[in-house]
Amino acid sequence: MTFDAGSLSAAYCRRTKVLAEAGLIVQERRGRVIWCKLDPGAMREATVWIAGFGLFEAVDLDAFERFLEGEVGEEGA
């Protein structure tokens, strides 16, 4: 992926910087153009890490919210 550094939004720059700092992408600046490429090894490690979260049971966020509301209600009483 390439992009012109002069036409980037700040949000896009922050996101690519985070990915680069995490080692998931490699950036190389050539003049005004910044080249980005995925690091396959780092992506493989990230995929294994993410897949580990699938081993947990799904969380019922509505039930969790009701629980928290009950806890806050009890503290205020």
DSSP-assigned letters across all residues of 52-71: GGGGSPPP-HHHHHHHHHHH
Count up the domains in the chain and report the number: 1
CA distances from 14 to 19, 42, 49, 57 (A): 9, 19, 23, 33
Q: pLDDT band for position 6 (50/70/90)?
A: low
pLDDT reading at 7 higher than 80: no
- Give the domain extent around 30: 2-76
Q: Which two tokens stand for residue 57?
A: 């049971």
- Report the number of secondary-structure helices (H) and strands (E) in the chain: 3, 3
Q: What's the pLDDT at 60?
A: 80
Does this model's pTM top 0.85? My answer is: no
Question: Do 37 and 26 meet the contact criterion of CB atoms below 8 Å apart?
Answer: yes
Where residue 22 sits, what CATH number does that domain have? 1.10.10.10
What pLDDT, in 10s, does the model give residues 36-62?
898 888 888 888 888 877 666 677 888
What pLDDT, in 10s, does the model give residues 8-28?
677 777 888 888 998 889 998
Q: How far apart are CA 40 and CA 17, in angstroms?
A: 17
